[in-house]
Each structure stands twice: as C-alpha cells, then as structure tokens.
A and B are shown apart, each in its own frame.
Chain A
Amino acid sequence: MLTFITLLVIACVPTQKLTIAGNVDLNDLQPLATPANRQTSALRVAIAAVISPKGTVESYAPLLRYLEEKLNRPVELIQRRTYMEINDLIAHGQVDMAFVCTSAYIQGHDTFGMELLVAPQVNGKTTYNSFLIVPANSLARSMADLRGKVFAFTDPISLSGRVYPTYLVQQLGFTPEEFFSRTFYTYSHDEAIRAIASGLADGAAVDSLVYAFMLERDPALREKLKVIHTSPDFGIPPVVVNPAIRPQIKHELKSILLEMANDAAAQEALKSIGVERFVPISDEIYQSARELMRTLLLFNQP
C-alpha cells in the first residue's frame, strides 16, 4: 500500500518543462569590437543637469526628435553630472548645441566665447528667479532662520541653486560653511526639490522655472513645500552653441527653434519642456547675474 502511494506521489509530481533559449559557453570570451565611432554626422546636443538625467531624457525626447526630423540628421543627447563638464565639452568642440544654466553661460561666454542662440520664453518672460524653499511645516521665514540647518545646493556653478543662496548668506556676514551645519550638492534642481519634500534638507534654492514645472507635474508637492524668498529677475538659462560651429548650422538651428512656436508639429516638444516659444536673446539680459557672480567671486577671493 505504502509502495503504491509512494509511486503515485512520484508519478504526480509535475515535471516542470523548461524551455532552453540557447547554449552559451561563458568562458568563451572574445574581445569586444571597439564601438563604431559615434555617428560623426549627428548633431550633438548637451543638456545641463537642471533636472535629473532621466527626467531630462523624458522631457527633451520630443524636442530632439523634432530637431532630427527638421535637420534630417540624427541628434545625439549628451548629459553630464555638472555644468562645468558640459562647458568643457562645448569649449572643446565636442558639443554643437547646448541647453545650459545662466551661470554656466556667463562662465562659458566670459572664458571661451560661448555664443547665445535663443532663449526660451516662459509665461511671457525670458527671466527667471531663484526660489528659497523650505519644507511646508518649517518655521523659517528668511535665509537668516536657516542658520545651523542643512542646506542643499544644486550645482557648484548654478546661479539660482548655489550662487544666489551663497550671496544671501554672505549678506548676513557668513560663508555657507560657517552658516549651515551641513551642505550637499544634488546636481539638479528636481532632486533639490525632492530633498526638501522628503526632509533630507532644511532649505534649498531652486530654479523658479523647474519649481513651477515640478509642481505642475506633481501637485502633491504643493503640500510639502513653500517658497520663503524670491530673488530678483535673472536672465533665463539660454540655448547656446559652440563658438566653432559652422555659421550655416547655427543659422539653421536658430530659425528652426524660433519657428517652433508657429509649427503645430512642435507644440508637443515645447510643452514637454514647459516652454512657450524660443525667442532671440542678447547678452545684456545676463548682466545682473554676471554682476552678482563677480561680487561673489570678489567675496570668495579675499
């Protein structure tokens, strides 16, 4: 009886049929071919890490696809962790066009002649501000109240994320190292906003455009954050080109970008990055920011 039951049980075990996709010898290692030279004909577009790399890909994908169609050539997206790395790529001619931060433009313009192409217009303006934000339940009402707290900077050369808050601290007579108990870099504005929302930092200064964009995308953030200080207007982060770019390409790019507002096919791309239209721009608009940076540099170099 026992024997019978045992046999029955054995017979009833479902024999899991596993399909084998293929055979591989894991020790049969072959040298990898050197990657084919990255599409030399591609237009190389760099985007500064205003928002995190993943967010950038998602937001800028329609715009890049639009450019590919218009130019009839592939567009290669290049991202780096810091603004300075992007500036270096532009300076060395490894990037044709770039979306950079205001301070990165000023640094690039003043050191190697980075050229303005167009500027995005948001809410009818080509300026933006630095918002000093704190958690919604914070008692802080100005920078002075954030003394001894944890502060999140975005990028070392970000105007709204580092230069302006540093300026505010200096106005109070301190260096950030003295004033805050601890500071850290998030390398992008959306991460700084998330750092405040999650309580990782007690305060941060962020790009007003990114702030508005994030709040629109994730309304739940409204409950968690509040703005306690707004900076004066600064010139909006522009679209720039490598100074060595061929003039025809520069012209072509400029006209495509300027025409986007009138092209029904471009609306999705504009909406995805939260821009109404691209408009021509001159260097004067960045003068206030430039002066602020100079003050800071003087202050920084005793």
Chain B
Amino acid sequence: MMKKIFEKFWSIAGAVSVCTKILGIVLGSTLLLGTGVIFQARAAFQATMMRLLEEQSISAARDLAARAADPILLNDLVYLQNLLDETVKNSPNVRYAFLLDPQGQIIAHTFHGGFPLALLSLNTVAATSHHHTVLIRTNEGLVWDTAVPILNRKVGIARVGVTDLSVQRVLSELTLQLGLTMLVVSVAGILVAALLTLILTRPIQELLQATREVAKGNFAVRVKRWADDELGDLADAFNQMSEQLALTENLRREREWLRRQLLEKVIASQEEERRRIARELHDSTSQNLTSLIVGLRMIEENCRQCPAQPKALELRAVASRTLEEVHELSLRLRPRILDDLGLAAALERLAAEWEARYKIPIDVAIRLNERLPGAVETAIYRIVQEALTNIVRHAQAHSASILIERRGNMLRAIIEDDGIGFDPQTRFGEHHLGLLGMRERAELLGGKLVIESAPGAGTSLLIEIPLSTLSSE
C-alpha cells in the first residue's frame, strides 16, 4: 500500500524538473507550516480567550453583586436598572445581566421587552459559594454565565452572561491575518526558490551542454566551478574527465597515425616486392624458358630419327605451359600494364581475362581522361581485384559491373553484382570477405568504402577517394 502510494508519488514528483521540485518543496513546506501555525494559533488563542472570558464573566458578576446589594435592600429599582445597563454598556463582551431576589424572582434585567425564561434554570449558586460559572450555548454563540450570591443569597443572586462574539471576530481576523502572512511568505518563498533553482540548475545546465559537446568529440570543453558544493566537485570531476579523454584521444590518434604509416609502408613494400618478382619472372625466368623452348625445338628439328625426339617434344610442351603460367603469375603479381598504360587499361584487361576465365559477363565503364596518382591507381586496382575474387568465390552472380569515374576532385568506383548478397551488419562478413583490407586501402588515401548489400539483393561497393589532397602531396 505504502509502496504503491510512493510509486504514484514518484511517478509525479520524479517526472517534473528540478525547478518544479524545489518550488514544490518550498511551497509545500510553507503551506504545511502555515496551516499548522494557523491551527495551533487559533486553538491556543481560543483556549486563552475562553479562559479570559470566563474570568471576565466572574469579575463582572462579582462586581455587580457587590454594587447591587444596597440598592436591592433599599428597593432602588431605578438605580439597579442603571447599574445593570451600565454593566452591559461598559464591557462590550457582557451580553446580559440580571438580578434575582432570594425567592428566584427577577428584580431587574437588561433584556428589552421580555426575558428568555429558559435562561433562569441554567445556572444557580449555593449561598456560600464564591461564584458558579457555566457555559451556555445560545443563538448568538457561547455565553459564560456566572451566578454570584449577594450577601449569602439573603439579598439575591446576580447573574452576568459574557459572549464569545468578540473572540470569534478576533479569531476570524487572526486567521485572515495569518492566512495573508502565509500568502506573502509563500510568494517570497517562490522568489527565493526561483533564485535557488537558478543557482542550482545553472551549473547543471552547463554540465549538460558540456557533456553533449564531449559526446560529439570536443574534449576541449571545460565547465566553470560555480560554487564550493557537490555541484562544484562534479564540475571539477567533469573537467578532469575531459582532460583525461583528450589525452586518451590524442594517444589514440597518434597510434592510429603510426598504424597507418606502418600499413602504408607494408602495402608499398608489398607492391614493390610484387613488382620486382613480376619483373624478375618476366625478364629472367621467361627469357630462360623461351631459350629452353628454342633449344628443344632445335633438338626436334635436327634429330628427326633420334629416340629422344618424342621426349624433346614432350619437354617443349611442358616448358611452353610453364612459360604461360609464369606469364600469368607475373601479371597477377603486378601487371606491367598498370604501370605502363594506367588504371583504365589495366582494369579493362583484368575484366577481360576474368570474364574469359569464369564465364561471368562483366560490364566495365571507366571514365578517366588522365593518369591518376600511382597510389590511387594501385589501391583501386587491388580493391577491384579483391572484389572480383569475392564475386567468384561467394556471390554466385550472373553478371557484374564496374564503374570508375572522376567527379570533381573525387574519384568514385562502384562494383556491383547480382549475386546472393549478405548482411553487412554482421562483422563476420566484413572480415571474411576481405572487406577490411579494401576499406583500409581506401581510408589510407583519405577515402571511404561503403557496402550496400542484403541477402538475395546482390552487393554494391562504393569507393570514394579524394584526389586534391593527393595531388598536393
């Protein structure tokens, strides 16, 4: 039950802003305290005033009894009437006063035009008592009625009634005053709370802004320490964290740069090695094999009847096949055409050989008017080479296309197939398909690689590499 109430409360109190919470605290406390004070003051005041009224009733009745004794004995009714009227007139709380003779007959009273007879029996007093006071409920409020014996009741009884009308009036005024005070205090409280809220939420707002900046990667942002409190400590901690993050980020960038440098060197030396091996194969191994073939043909032609003639024929065929393989190997390692005639020619030849070998039609569109920087040509060539390998290995495609074009300072390459596709979200796919290597090649040149693919919807690779930064290098 309590938990439910608390949850309900929290769902409301937790949802509002800090400003509203503080205002709620201030206003709630003020109202609660104010209401409590009003109730308390009213109760205390009423209790005190009722006691005072009782005392006033007693003193008025005692006074009347003392002053009425002689006039009653002397039967001075005019004087008695004046005495009663003055008793009522001179003290605003006295509602009525009257005198009874020892037989209980009314001698004189202050009601005009009759007497509320019900009053008579409500109070009386013993002859030897000092006084007897009772509380009577009347149509005009509560009345403290005091009876005082005059000369041990030998002369009679004096009775005086004191109403609480004035007390009720003062009580209403008091309540109103306290209520107004509470209102003023509440307004002041709201102002103070607004100020406090400003003081409290401003650093929080700033911290929020700064946190968003950091999230964006701006580690230089710092917050001001507003006050020597928890929020101040939070600001300090935040600044420390930002500094630490900035340091870490710098370190990371440095490492990344080193890694790229290293990668670049690896790739460059790899290319160089391939080129050297390819040249070696072409220049030396191919020449030797060619010499071998020429030698074997000469053996064939000069010794037609020799028993070794068939063997020479056979060896010549092996040598020719090996020459072809060496040729192909050299081409794959580093096509000379790429260095000699450029990317367009190299790719067209690559595509033609690929189409011929795997029997998958490929559409090549290359719109380049000039040679590109060597690094870019090599990267694009290798990326296309890898992509075509992937298509053969995984895509089960029926056709493929290559588009290379220059758009302003941006080189753009799109390699597409209509194969089975894959889900690019799975990182497994990226690693497995050698996409990471392709992406790294693109990124090393400040470019990017975007894969668009879905199972059953083919695969599309978009590579963009800026040319301006390279030309300025």
Contacts of A19 in B (CB 8 A): 135
Once the chains bind, are A20 and B36 in contact (CB under 8 Å)? no
Residue of A nearest to B154 (CB): A57
Contacts of A23 in B (CB 8 A): 118, 136-138
Given the interface pairs A13-B43, A30-B115, the reply to whether A53 lies near B137 with Cβ below 8 Å is no
Once the chains bind, are B105 and A21 in contact (CB under 8 Å)? no
Once the chains bind, are B113 and A29 in contact (CB under 8 Å)? yes
Q: Chain A, 29-54, contact with B by CB distance < 8 Å: what is the 0/1 string?
A: 11110011000000000000100111
The number of residues on chain B lying at the interface, defined by a beta carbon within 8 Å of a beta carbon of chain A, is 49
Please tell me if A6 contacts chain B, counting CB pairs below 8 Å: yes
A52 to B155, CA, bound (A): 14
Once the chains bind, are A57 and B151 in contact (CB under 8 Å)? yes
A14 to B115, CA, bound (A): 37
Once the chains bind, are A24 and B69 in contact (CB under 8 Å)? no
> Which residues from 11 to 45 on chain B have a C-beta closer than 8 Å to any C-beta of chain A?
28-29, 32-33, 35-37, 39-40, 43-44
Q: Chain B, 131-160, contact with A by CB distance < 8 Å: what is the 0/1 string?
A: 000111111101101000001001100000
Please tell me if B307 contacts chain A, counting CB pairs below 8 Å: no
Please give the distance in Å from B186's CB to the nearest CB on chain A: 14
Please tell me if B303 contacts chain A, counting CB pairs below 8 Å: no
> Which residues from 53 to 103 on chain A have a C-beta closer than 8 Å to any C-beta of chain B?
53-54, 56-58, 61, 77-81
Once the chains bind, are B116 and A25 in contact (CB under 8 Å)? yes
Choose one: A15, A21, A28, A54; the contact of B136 (CB below 8 Å): A21
Choose one: A9, A16, A27, A56; the contact of B47 (CB below 8 Å): A16
A28 to B138, CA, bound (A): 11
Please give the distance in Å from B118's CB to the nearest CB on chain A: 5
Please tell me if B106 contacts chain A, counting CB pairs below 8 Å: yes
Once the chains bind, are B32 and A20 in contact (CB under 8 Å)? no
Please give the distance in Å from A48's CB to the nearest CB on chain B: 11
Once the chains bind, are A29 and B116 in contact (CB under 8 Å)? yes
A35 to B121, CA, bound (A): 17
A34 to B454, CA, bound (A): 119
A20 to B144, CA, bound (A): 10
Once the chains bind, are A2 and B40 in contact (CB under 8 Å)? no
Please tell me if B254 contacts chain A, counting CB pairs below 8 Å: no
Contacts of B40 in A (CB 8 A): 9-10, 13
Please tell me if B96 contacts chain A, counting CB pairs below 8 Å: yes
Contacts of A49 in B (CB 8 A): 74
Residue of B nearest to A23 (CB): B137
Once the chains bind, are B138 and A52 in contact (CB under 8 Å)? no
Once the chains bind, are A35 and B116 in contact (CB under 8 Å)? no
Please tell me if A26 contacts chain B, counting CB pairs below 8 Å: yes
Q: Chain B, 142-182, contact with A by CB distance < 8 Å: what is the 0/1 string?
A: 11010000010011000000000000000000000000000
Please tell me if B111 contacts chain A, counting CB pairs below 8 Å: yes
Please tell me if A18 contacts chain B, counting CB pairs below 8 Å: yes
Given the interface pairs A26-B95, A57-B151, the reply to whether A32 lies near B135 with Cβ below 8 Å is no
> Which residues from 385 to 414 on chain B have a C-beta closer than 8 Å to any C-beta of chain A?
none
Once the chains bind, are A15 and B115 in contact (CB under 8 Å)? no
Contacts of B47 in A (CB 8 A): 14, 16
A77 to B138, CA, bound (A): 37
Please tell me if A22 contacts chain B, counting CB pairs below 8 Å: yes
Please tell me if A3 contacts chain B, counting CB pairs below 8 Å: yes
Please give the distance in Å from B58's CB to the nearest CB on chain A: 15
Please tell me if B82 contacts chain A, counting CB pairs below 8 Å: no
Contacts of A264 in B (CB 8 A): none
Contacts of B115 in A (CB 8 A): 29-32
Please tell me if B123 contacts chain A, counting CB pairs below 8 Å: yes
Residue of A nearest to B139 (CB): A25
SS of B interface (majority): mixed
A80 to B32, CA, bound (A): 67
Given the interface pairs A29-B115, A56-B73, the reply to whether A20 lies near B29 with Cβ below 8 Å is no
Residue of A nearest to B48 (CB): A16
Choose one: A13, A25, A36, A80; the contact of B118 (CB below 8 Å): A25
Choose one: B76, B117, B136, B142; the contact of A30 (CB below 8 Å): B117
Please tell me if B119 contacts chain A, counting CB pairs below 8 Å: yes
Given the interface pairs A18-B135, A32-B114, the reply to whether A79 lies near B122 with Cβ below 8 Å is no
Q: Which among A16, A24, A57, A77 has the greatest number of chain B C-beta atoms within 10 A?
A: A24
Once the chains bind, are B136 and A20 in contact (CB under 8 Å)? yes
A21 to B96, CA, bound (A): 17
Please give the distance in Å from A38's CB to the nearest CB on chain B: 10
Once the chains bind, are A21 and B145 in contact (CB under 8 Å)? yes
Choose one: A27, A58, A80; the contact of B74 (CB below 8 Å): A80
Please tell me if B360 contacts chain A, counting CB pairs below 8 Å: no
Given the interface pairs A22-B122, A35-B105, A79-B73, the reply to whether A6 lies near B136 with Cβ below 8 Å is no
Please give the distance in Å from A270's CB to the nearest CB on chain B: 20
Please tell me if B50 contacts chain A, counting CB pairs below 8 Å: yes
Please tell me if B75 contacts chain A, counting CB pairs below 8 Å: yes
Please tell me if A7 contacts chain B, counting CB pairs below 8 Å: yes
Once the chains bind, are B136 and A24 in contact (CB under 8 Å)? yes
Please tell me if B7 contacts chain A, counting CB pairs below 8 Å: no
Please tell me if B206 contacts chain A, counting CB pairs below 8 Å: no
Once the chains bind, are A79 and B114 in contact (CB under 8 Å)? no
Please tell me if B339 contacts chain A, counting CB pairs below 8 Å: no
A32 to B116, CA, bound (A): 9
Please give the distance in Å from A7's CB to the nearest CB on chain B: 7
Once the chains bind, are B137 and A54 in contact (CB under 8 Å)? no
A25 to B36, CA, bound (A): 35
Given the interface pairs A2-B33, A79-B75, the reply to whether A26 lies near B44 with Cβ below 8 Å is no
Once the chains bind, are A13 and B114 in contact (CB under 8 Å)? no
Once the chains bind, are B119 and A10 in contact (CB under 8 Å)? no
> Which residues from 348 to 374 on chain B have a C-beta closer than 8 Å to any C-beta of chain A?
none
A282 to B224, CA, bound (A): 123
Given the interface pairs A10-B36, A28-B118, A57-B73, the reply to whether A22 lies near B43 with Cβ below 8 Å is no
Please tell me if B70 contacts chain A, counting CB pairs below 8 Å: yes
A127 to B185, CA, bound (A): 85
Given the interface pairs A16-B50, A31-B114, the reply to whether A9 lies near B36 with Cβ below 8 Å is yes
Contacts of B116 in A (CB 8 A): 24-30
Once the chains bind, are A21 and B134 in contact (CB under 8 Å)? yes
A210 to B385, CA, bound (A): 152
Once the chains bind, are A80 and B75 in contact (CB under 8 Å)? yes
Once the chains bind, are A25 and B74 in contact (CB under 8 Å)? no
- Given A21-B123, A24-B136, A52-B70, 7 other A-B contacts at CB below 8 A? A2-B33, A13-B39, A21-B136, A24-B118, A24-B139, A29-B114, A57-B73
Nearest first, the 5 closest Cβ-Cβ pairs linking A and B are A29-B114, A6-B36, A53-B73, A21-B134, A53-B70
Show 24 residue pairs from A and B whose CB-CB distance is below 8 angstroms, ordered by the A residue.
A2-B32, A3-B29, A6-B33, A14-B47, A15-B43, A20-B135, A20-B137, A21-B135, A21-B136, A21-B145, A23-B118, A24-B139, A25-B138, A26-B143, A28-B116, A28-B118, A30-B116, A32-B106, A35-B105, A53-B74, A54-B73, A57-B154, A77-B73, A79-B75
Using CB atoms and an 8 Å cutoff, list the residues of chain A in contact with chain B: 2-3, 6-7, 9-10, 13-16, 18-32, 35-36, 49, 52-54, 56-58, 61, 77-81
